[in-house]
Chains A and B, each alone.
Chain A
Amino acid sequence: MIASPSRRSRGNLAWQAATRIPAALLVAFILLPVVALIFGTSAGGFMAGLRHPLVGPALRLSVFTTICSLTAIVVLGTPLAWLLARSRGRLLRWTELAIQLPIVLPPAVAGVALLFAFGRRGLLGAWLDRIGVHVPFTTAAVILAEVFVAAPFFIQGAVASFERLDQNLVRVARTLGASPARVFFRVALPLCAPGLARGAAVSWARALGEFGATLMFAGNMSGRTQTLPLAIYTALESDLRAAQALSIVLVAVAFGLLWAVHGSGAQFAGVRSREGGETVERA
């Protein structure tokens, strides 16, 4: 049976409506809160919100702790990602799966688990307690919570980036006298740097937004463990403008990261695109 043109176009119309209306609804739903957040304030209100006494310490603490956690994640995570990307062994396959656990784990559970590990009577904490190290409810706990929840995002990105590396480049480098270490630093790292940077950006965003695990494991003490998300939570009860201003700051950061992550793609071959330059002597 052949549908008449009018029936066919009616069918098309119905299909278009059936796809576009739900799509538009979801986009509107996701954008509405962000729009409401930004348009619900004035420049003056925003500035006043930023001057709230909660803001300064929380901003400083968030910058400090995320720099520490991101450094730990990159320094420890890059070798792990390299191993995971290059091995097909069963143990490492399981490791790759296990390391992604924090992505699906509820943050509150992560907080409780960290307490059981590092708390005064915890698995490692009891031993740490004996040598006088107390982790929970300190700035160190904030950093540990951030590493725990954010590391998998970097590892995922880094493994994917290393796996995309052309194996022939690695092979040729070896035949040219390069040790495995030199292959890593001179071939793999420069070529995978954009992918690693994208993984680090996503990981940093996750660390910056960390709330649940931090609250349970590190508490909510201004200047010591009160990061930006916790300050927003606290300000919600006292000064809505401060909560709003901080939220706008975090939205701006998030947008910046999204742009950096997606706007910096497609440059694999152009890691270094300058013409000329004498680097032969560099031995």
Chain B
Amino acid sequence: MLAVELQARIGTLDIEVDLAVSEGPLVLAGPNGSGKTSLLLLILGLLAPDRGRVAIGSDVLFDSSRGIDLPPEERGLGYVPQDYALFPHLNVRENVAFGLESQRTAAPDVDRRRRVERLLEEMEIASLSHREPRLLSGGEKQRVALARALAPQPRALLLDEPLAALDVSARRQVRVFLAKYLAGLQIPAIVVTHNAADAIALGTQMAILEQGKLVQRGTYAQMKAQPQTPFVAELMGSFPTKT
């Protein structure tokens, strides 16, 4: 369980969020500029909140009242940014292995190697392991970024617009792959999107962020039946009918 309760002022936007995410993906949707990416960065410790608390289970990552503020490298949270941000000077395998090399607990080399191999297989990128990121397609980049985030065995996974950088044809295919993968994941995950079709495909639990505040939380069906704001109504209305 990832519990987030944060207040922060980022630029001119006041973010105030109280959010608990259990196992499985939560889709975080909202209009552009509603603070979705900022919220992820706050949870990751890459932006500083004014007040609040972030915890995974009983492990507190941030608590302003107790003066706890773990640096990003000690939070154990996986992150896939919008443009994937693969390290351009490392090949696919080195990208995936990056987080394992950073870990202080020196797992035996064999174990690390095996974990990298397994992730490369799982993400169907084993054949690309020596390739440079700039030679990959959008979908391949995304799977490398996902494998890289999962390699150090994070306690939660945060994905920012995982499908936004893809063209239409790649998007459908990657969406199916990602949805299946996230559904089987044993850790809390937050998937940010502002695309309705992506939102419904990637998770059943949804939360809507507008102007830095959570305006509605629930399943797709609940939101469709009782949208709380015009944005939610529009988002739900634009969904294709479920078959």
Q: Mark B65-108, 1 if CB is under 8 A from A, else 0.
A: 00000011111111101110101110101100111011110100
B26–chain A nearest beta-carbon distance, Å: 18
Range of interface residues on chain A? 20 to 34
Say yes or no for A90: interface residue by CB 8 A criterion. no
A253-283: which residues lie under 8 A (CB-CB) from chain B? 268-273, 275-277, 279-283
Q: A172-B85, A272-B89, A283-B109 are in contact. Are A177 and B46 (CB under 8 A)?
A: no
Partner of A176, one of B116, B131, B148: B148
Cα A172 to Cα B46 in complex, Å, equals 10
Contact B81 A168 (CB under 8 A): yes
Partner of B112, one of A169, A177, A186, A280: A280
Give the residues in chain A near B188, CB-CB below 8 Å.
Answer: none
Give the residues in chain B near A176, CB-CB below 8 Å.
Answer: 73, 98-99, 102, 148-149, 151-152
Q: A169-B85, A182-B102, A269-B134 are in contact. Are A280 and B113 (CB under 8 A)?
A: yes
B152–chain A nearest beta-carbon distance, Å: 6
Give the residues in chain A near B82, CB-CB below 8 Å.
Answer: 168
B188-207: which residues lie under 8 A (CB-CB) from chain A? none
Contact B99 A171 (CB under 8 A): no
Give the residues in chain B near A205, CB-CB below 8 Å.
Answer: none
Q: A174-B73, A277-B130 are in contact. Are A191 and B89 (CB under 8 A)?
A: yes
* Residues of A bordering B, CB below 8 Å: 166, 168-169, 171-179, 182, 186-187, 190-191, 268-273, 275-277, 279-283
- Complex A-B: 23 CB contacts under 8 Å: A168-B85, A169-B87, A174-B44, A174-B45, A174-B73, A175-B78, A176-B98, A176-B99, A177-B102, A177-B103, A178-B102, A179-B71, A179-B102, A191-B87, A191-B89, A269-B132, A270-B132, A271-B89, A275-B130, A276-B130, A277-B91, A280-B116, A281-B109
* Residues of B bordering A, CB below 8 Å: 41, 44-46, 71-79, 81-83, 85, 87-89, 91, 93-94, 97-99, 101-104, 106, 109, 112-113, 116, 130-132, 134, 148-149, 151-152
